[in-house]
Amino acid sequence: MTASRTAQSATTAAQTTVFGVIVAISFCHMLNDMMQSLLPAIYPDLKSELHLSFTQIGLVTLAYQLTASILQPLVGLYADKRPTPLALPGGTLFSLAGLLVLSVAHNYALLLVGASLIGMGSSVFHPESSRVARMAAGARHGLAQSLFQVGGNAGQALGPLAAALVVVRWGQSSVACFALLALLSCAVLWNVAQWYRHHGLARLAPGKDGHRAQVVLRNSIVLRGIAILLALIFSKYVYLASLTSYFTFYLIQRFGVTVENAQLHLFAFLTAVAIGTILGGPLGDRFGRKQVIWFSILGPLPFTLLLPYAGLFWTGPLTVMIGLILASAFPAIVVFAQDLVPGKIGMISGLFFGFAFGVGGIGAAVLGNVADAWGIVAVYRICAVLPAIGLLAVFLPDLRKVRA
């Protein structure tokens, strides 16, 4: 009887949500993505100083995102087999080195090296930190993934703001000051790694991660579901690449706004992305992840179709609505994929984060070529139809019915 009560108490404890760990990992996600978002935020200065074309700007994004995307699934797969808690603080050293290189990058080759180092930092951080979010989630996977994700979105929003306030005023060398954020993140992640080692791993034992039961689906259903989810990630992140990499150029060229004004518009869009991310996970927990995925990918379509033809007054509200709706998809997609393939949290997290980074980088490079050939407005006319891919969500399996 005593053994039964002890086991029941352990399972109940494993199903509670450890908000302290989730907040810590979300804070570090904010610092990580803020450091990353400094790179596209200083694109206008780099373009004028190094005389870069839009194609070269796209290749910088590609270098950063490919190093992140290719390594992430491998890091996640390794972590599933041999969990390495100290990889979390160790990975921040790559980001620190990347920022220092960017601060002195006065030729194109060095710029690519700095971007690649920042990508390597992300490749270690994202799959391992997503595992920690799952460990600390208890029975509230969507909420934990949203809180984790919103840290990254907040960092992406703060990056352009920091660039507008610091880098635009003090120059490229001031990027080195933000390397201090990597040291702060390293200190916080060291403490998270200790919890990961002593408590987190036990919470991922079968039956203790918040599921009443893990249903093994047929391979055909799993593969179809993963393929559809990756197609939806393609739609979301190629469109996001068009805004994060080229929105400031679009505003400057089409409406003649200043660089600072354009950065503030980008900040408003990324803030909307952060709010949408907060909403996506809890809504998925409550109403079902398939319904949230369906709405969040297809929902922005009317706004994306209007954006290339809107004036400056309406451009801001339209991009805010696009960011708000589109961002709610990712937490639901990641948790849905983790539920499709139970027991492979690191690999699935790495696959989806990595694919998102990779497709975003390829999309940025291709769209940079489009902007050089046909103009920046053509980028948004072409990308306007991407949310229609959200119709594929109707073919996702309904995991609630399968479990029932």
pLDDT digits (tens, 9 = 90+) for 246-291: 898 899 999 988 887 888 888 888 888 878 888 877 777 777 778 8
Side-chain half-sphere of 98: how many Cα atoms within 13 Å?
29
Q: Which long-range contacts (CB under 8 A, 24 or more apart) does 376-382 make?
A: 376/54, 376/246, 376/249, 376/250, 376/253, 376/254, 377/250, 377/254, 377/308, 379/242, 379/246, 379/250, 380/242, 380/250, 380/304, 380/307, 380/308, 381/308
Q: Which two tokens stand for residue 375?
A: 């103009």
- pLDDT over 50 (residue 22): yes
| Arithmetic mean of pLDDT, 293-313 | 91
Burial 120-132 (b: 16+ CB within 10 A, else e): bbbbbbbbbbbbb
3-state secondary structure of 23: helix
**Rounded to whole angstroms, how far apart are CA atoms 22 and 98?**
26
Which of 55-69, 87-101, 138-152, 350-364 is modeled with the greatest confidence?
87-101
| Arithmetic mean of pLDDT, 113-137 | 85
Residues 21 and 147: beta-carbon distance below 8 Å: no
pLDDT at 361: 73
Tell me if the domain spanning 16-203+216-403 has CATH number 3.40.309.10: no
Q: Which of 326, 327, 306 is nearest to 315 (CA)?
A: 306
pLDDT at 384: 93
pLDDT at 3: 45
pTM score: 0.71
- pLDDT over 90 (residue 300): yes
Q: Which two tokens stand for residue 133?
A: 């979010």
| Arithmetic mean of pLDDT, 83-108 | 86
Compute the CA torsion angle 20, 352, 268, 166 (nearest 10 deg). 80
pLDDT at 386: 93
- pLDDT over 70 (residue 339): yes
pLDDT at 12: 52
Q: Which of 221, 230, 234 is nearest to 398 (CA)?
A: 221
| Arithmetic mean of pLDDT, 117-134 | 85
3-state secondary structure of 104: coil
Q: Write down the mean pLDDT value for the chain.
A: 81
Model confidence band, residue 213 (pLDDT cutoffs 50, 70, 90)? very low
11 compared with 227, residue with greater pLDDT: 227
Residues 368 and 58: beta-carbon distance below 8 Å: yes
Q: What is the pLDDT of residues 155-192, one digit of tens each?
A: 877 877 777 777 767 777 777 888 888 889 999 999 99
Among the residues of 138-218, which ranges form H helices? 141-162, 168-170, 179-195, 201-203
pLDDT at 303: 95
Model confidence band, residue 14 (pLDDT cutoffs 50, 70, 90)? low
